[in-house]
Amino acid sequence: LTAAPSHSVAEEERRARANDREYNEKFQYASNCIKTSKYNILTFLPVNLFEQFQEVANTYFLFLLILQLIPQVSSLSWFTTIVPLVLVLAITAVKDATDDYFRHKSDNQVNNRQSQVLINGSLQQEQWMNVCVGDIIKLENNQFVAVREVALQGNKSLPLFWQIEMKTNMKVRQAIPVTSELGDISRLAKFDGEVVCEPPNNKLDRFSGTLYWKESKFPLSNQNTLLRGCVLRNTEWCFGLVVFAGPDTKLMQNSGRTKFKRTSIDRLMNTLVLWIFGFLVCMGVILAIGNAIWEHEVGTRFQAYLPWDEAVDSAFFSGFLSFWSYIIILNTVVPISLYVSVEVIRLGHSYFINWDKKMFCVKRRTPAEARTTTLNEELGQVEYVFSDKTGTLTQNIMVFNKCSISGRSYGDVFDVLGHKAELGERPEPVDFSFNPLADKKFLFWDPTLLEAVKMGDPHTHEFFRLLSLCHTVMSEEKNEGELYYKAQSPDEGALVTAARNFGFVFRSRTPKTITVYEMGIAVTYQLLAILDFNNIRKRMSVIVRNPEGRIRLYCKGADTILLDRLHPSTQELLSTTTDHLNEYAGEGLRTLVLAYKDLDEEYYGEWAQRRLQASLAQDSREDRLASVYEEVESDMVLLGATAIEDKLQQGVPETIALLTLANIKIWVLTGDKQETAVNIGYSCKMLTDDMTEVFVVTGHTVLEVREELRKAREKMMDSPYAVGNGLPCPEKCSSAKLTSVLEAVAGEYALVINGHSLAHALEADMELEFLETACACKAVICCRVTPLQKAQVVELVKKHKKAVTLAIGDGANDVSMIKTAHIGVGISGQEGIQAVLASDYSFSQFKFLQRLLLVHGRWSYLRMCKFLCYFFYKNFAFTMVHFWFGFFCGFSAQVGHPQPLLACVRDGLCPCMEYPKLYEPGQLNLLFNKREFFICIAQGIYTSVLMFFIPYGVFAEATRDDGTQLADYQSFAVTVATSLVIVVSVSGWTPATGHFFIWGSLAVYFAILFAMHSNGLFGMFPNQFRFVGESLWLLRELVIYIIFLVLSPVIKEHSV
């Protein structure tokens, strides 16, 4: 090592030596003191203000305020700007301050937690913030892990322990075998191994490092590490070496992840605001030119009564100043406050989603959660839903249902007549009373399987032995005989439970052994290796040595993968098992294939050596390991297959039917077999028997896939249902035309495509063809897809269809899809919370999707559109009056009416569950687009014309009934403002909840009006409140009411 790398330079690798603080300090690793707070008392004001003024809206207000402080430009009293600005800043600051206060509090709490650190050979209590990289700390059961650490040693009796990730998901972690032998504290204190590992990153499930100790290297993997924020379970204690501390830990690296998904309305709004800004500048220029001309023609002559301001020396300069004055006056036309209002509305809708009782899952006690507050109205525009199957459409509660053991299928239930029995008329379930360790909740109806076990059939025994050995399930035995299994995946749990009931009870495990009670006799297997499951391998294996000393590899995995790696001698068995597999999949069951392989001692020894080398490799360790695994998992002997039932979630078919009625297209992307997927498709009503045809694409080559897609398209066009224009499309018709034809296909089609075909279909030259075909179908099922393909499919639709996409899933393999789609929905279910963490909305059952889209989505969309239209309308109506007045006051930047205050919360409710068709306007973006915007603007301008010119026409000649003057500026301004408020409030009216707001805002308006015009305020500030008595005396005038009255039909005409 040359020099200690400074922290600013990107860390390439991390070195931490145990019990050597001096050595570790050289690297200046982050301490464990975490600081999530942003401010302290001194820095709060400047930092917070600086942050707030990075918002465009605030800067804009500030700019206006500065303009207003120039006396020649100022055209409104400065408080009309400063009051809202200060209000917004203060509210935000208070919110930030409270947030930060709580962050301080939690930081303090976390930093001051106690942990036991090994210092100078003895365990000492130390606060979390003082723990350093390289320290050895002791953790006890149910304690939070303070840092990311490498587990050195576990409790001797229970060397494996669990950690609970984020409170829902258990993961197995294991101490490094070599250090487990260290024993007592004094020897641990002398431990001077050095860990070299990857720099801090945010990948929760990855870790690669090497431990150098006593001149030898030991591999470290994710299996050996504990993550910060997890809780230790199932072990009394463990010692660990701190590798990452504080901000470098994976939890901290993952928290605070902000991603910005913007809705289409957001983007539209940005464009519109720019246009309006242009419009504002245009108005300013027109009025400035008007001012210059007026000053030149009239103003110069009028100087006896009103000399020009000292700073003004020419009409041109006066025009220039009046431009800025008008920018101030007309600033309300640029709806900067719109962004704030829109955010508030969205936040409100998010709360409505969180509060919804009908989206609360009683069983799991989880309410729906809007994790992103900015996407609500896009929920009302969804056209494509991409759904995962397992755990999303289904419950992900696995039940061992059928199995095939060496060519014989078990699990079918026959009634007396020999037909397959239906639910409800089943005979008594199999009696497992012979087995005291059996799980009472496990039900199985085929007695022949148990008979086979009892008969001692070697294949059946081996079958269940495999199930009881090849897994990563943990057992917990609170009382004698009361076994609880904790499994990382529900499939494993179901299989191990099945083995348990059939007499092969998995009892306990250590890092080196597995104890199984085989028909009541305890047998301890030596565990030599676990070849872990992952999404690419799609299989897992264990290598065990039985008490007789024979080494055997047990493997279970997906049929596609496993059937290729069998020994050629089992060809006959293979074909029957394949038949069984297809039969199971056809019933919608999830299948796994089981196989074993005997290894001789010599080969194993050699292989174990290679495996160790691969796991110590610094680069591409994963690939090397995979190839080593692949080598041993070959030429296996087929044992049989299992079929697990994953029941559909409640309400799924109804939801899918409803969403289909709402013209939402549902694509299911699943990793399951084609038959399973199709079957689920039928059972959840995605596919129906009424469908004209279900196309299945299973081609293995580009040409095959292309041909299949072409045929599907041809069929769709040739069908008598095709409406088209009646003319058959000639062979050479372009793909663009093809689309239009396909859009018009009337029959109901569905497309099922396999993973390997999908890979070809997603290639650049075929993706459009695929998309056209798929989009013409009512339902699309992609099976055997990888997580990456899921994301690719979503991306494809997103890119070419300009439609809003929603992805829903529950597992880690759905994360990429959830992140890609416009809206990601996470199901908080059995598979942990990775999907939820990546999602924008989360709830616990698929059926809530209908409420999310059809109720909340639609309402959000409707309200947002209504609000936007109303907002633009209101702004234009109010602001344009100033513009018109400009032509009557020598363009002197006089306001047409005093700035009124407006409450503008509107409501629009309409049920959509009963009428799913009502969802369509959102998909077609009908309610707020550029056309609607211009209509609103036109209405606003029209209103402003009426609101200005009708009072103008009346006031020009009118006098009060005692003959005194009425056409004075103050009366005119108040009349215009009041009629504007009335008209604009009332025209925003739709349903009755609005009554409250309309009369409310009118009442507030009049209250403020009278207050501002009261004698008291005038007495105090005669120069500010010049409108004293105006409203009171004005509203005694009959003619004013006549003016208001004439405006009401105007409102009606525009609202009808």
Binding site as annotated, residues for Mg(2+):
388, 390, 810, 814
Name residues contacting another protein, limited to 882-921 (CB under 8 A).
Answer: 888-890, 892-894, 907, 909-910
Side chain identity at residue 830, one-letter code: Q
| Contact (Cβ atoms closer than 8 angstroms) between residue 237 and residue 138 | yes
Work out the burial of residue 187: count CB atoms within 10 Å of its CB; fewer than 13 is exposed, 13-18 middle, 19 or more buried. exposed
Closer residue to another protein in complex, CB, 213/955: 955
Name residues contacting another protein, limited to 356-385 (CB under 8 A).
Answer: 356-358, 360, 362, 365-367
Closer residue to another protein in complex, CB, 219/922: 922
Closer residue to another protein in complex, CB, 98/959: 959
The β-bridge partners of 990 are: none
x/- string (CB under 8 A) for another protein, residues 994-1033?
-x-------------------x--x---xx--x-xxx-xx
- Token code pair at residue 574: 């293979």
Min. distance of Cβ 225 from another protein in angstroms?
29
Element containing residue 827 per DSSP (H, E): strand 823-827
Hey, how many other C-beta atoms are within 10 angstroms of the C-beta on 307? 10
Closer residue to another protein in complex, CB, 355/434: 355
Is 314 a binder of another protein (CB under 8 A)?
no
Is 388 catalytic? The answer is yes
CA distance 827 to 821: 15
x/- string (CB under 8 A) for another protein, residues 967-986?
xxxxxxx-------------
Closer residue to another protein in complex, CB, 6/964: 964
Min. distance of Cβ 855 from another protein in angstroms?
8
Task: Work out which of 639, 936, 1009, 1043 binds another protein, going by CB under 8 A.
Answer: 1043
| Contact (Cβ atoms closer than 8 angstroms) between residue 604 and residue 551 | yes
CA distance 481 to 487: 18
Is 307 a binder of another protein (CB under 8 A)?
yes
Is 298 a binder of another protein (CB under 8 A)?
yes
Name residues contacting another protein, limited to 233-252 (CB under 8 A).
Answer: none
| Stretch of residues binding another protein (CB under 8 A), selected from 442-450, 517-525, 768-776, 959-967 | 959-967
Is 965 a binder of another protein (CB under 8 A)?
yes
Name residues contacting another protein, limited to 934-953 (CB under 8 A).
Answer: 950, 952-953
User: Would you mind telling me the total number of residues written for the chain in this entry?
Assistant: 1056
Task: Work out which of 632, 958, 977, 1009 binds another protein, going by CB under 8 A.
Answer: 958
Task: Work out which of 410, 841, 859, 948 binds another protein, going by CB under 8 A.
Answer: 859
| Stretch of residues binding another protein (CB under 8 A), selected from 347-355, 556-564, 603-611, 682-690 | 347-355
Tell me how far CA of residue 899 lies from CA of 22, 926, 1040, in angstroms.
68, 33, 20
- Which of 388, 446, 491, 840 is flagged as catalytic? 388
Min. distance of Cβ 1049 from another protein in angstroms?
5
Min. distance of Cβ 4 from another protein in angstroms?
48
Is 94 a binder of another protein (CB under 8 A)?
no
Q: For 492, phi and psi rounded to 5 degrees?
A: -60, -45
Min. distance of Cβ 930 from another protein in angstroms?
28
Tokens 């504080």 appear where? Answer: 246
What is the 3-class SS of 374-430, one letter each residue?
CCHHHHHHEEEEEECCCCCCEEEEEEEEEEEECCEEECCCECCCCCECCCCCCCCCC
Task: Work out which of 167, 214, 301, 441 binds another protein, going by CB under 8 A.
Answer: 301
| Contact (Cβ atoms closer than 8 angstroms) between residue 371 and residue 346 | no
Is 476 a binder of another protein (CB under 8 A)?
no
Instruction: Name which of 156, 120, 151 is nearest 138 in CA terms.
Output: 151
Closer residue to another protein in complex, CB, 571/1048: 1048
| Stretch of residues binding another protein (CB under 8 A), selected from 52-60, 626-634, 834-842, 1041-1049 | 1041-1049
Annotated binding site: 388-390, 492, 533, 556, 590, 670-672, 784, 790, 810, 813-814
Is 354 a binder of another protein (CB under 8 A)?
yes
Min. distance of Cβ 867 from another protein in angstroms?
16
Closer residue to another protein in complex, CB, 529/918: 918
| Contact (Cβ atoms closer than 8 angstroms) between residue 674 and residue 689 | no
| Stretch of residues binding another protein (CB under 8 A), selected from 122-130, 280-288, 380-388, 1038-1046 | 1038-1046
List the end-to-end C-alpha distance of the chain, in Å, as a whole number: 81
DSSP 104-131: HHHHHHHHT-EEEEEETTEEEEEEGGG-
The footprint of another protein on this chain (CB under 8 A) covers a number of residues equal to 83
Closer residue to another protein in complex, CB, 74/223: 74
Hey, how many other C-beta atoms are within 10 angstroms of the C-beta on 637? 17
| Contact (Cβ atoms closer than 8 angstroms) between residue 197 and residue 209 | yes
Instruction: Name which of 723, 721, 695, 722 is nearest 708 in CA terms.
Output: 695
Closer residue to another protein in complex, CB, 295/769: 295
Min. distance of Cβ 986 from another protein in angstroms?
13
Name residues contacting another protein, limited to 46-85 (CB under 8 A).
Answer: 75
Is 42 a binder of another protein (CB under 8 A)?
no
Min. distance of Cβ 952 from another protein in angstroms?
7
Nearby residues of 831 by Cβ (< 8 Å), 6 or more positions away = 169, 391, 396, 489, 810, 811, 812
Hey, how many other C-beta atoms are within 10 angstroms of the C-beta on 632? 22
Is 992 a binder of another protein (CB under 8 A)?
yes
| Contact (Cβ atoms closer than 8 angstroms) between residue 801 and residue 775 | yes
| Contact (Cβ atoms closer than 8 angstroms) between residue 264 and residue 381 | yes
Closer residue to another protein in complex, CB, 355/999: 355
- The stretches of 533-589 forming alpha helices (DSSP H) are 559-562, 571-586
Instruction: Name which of 392, 452, 337 is nearest 87 in CA terms.
Output: 337
- Catalogue the active-site residues: 388
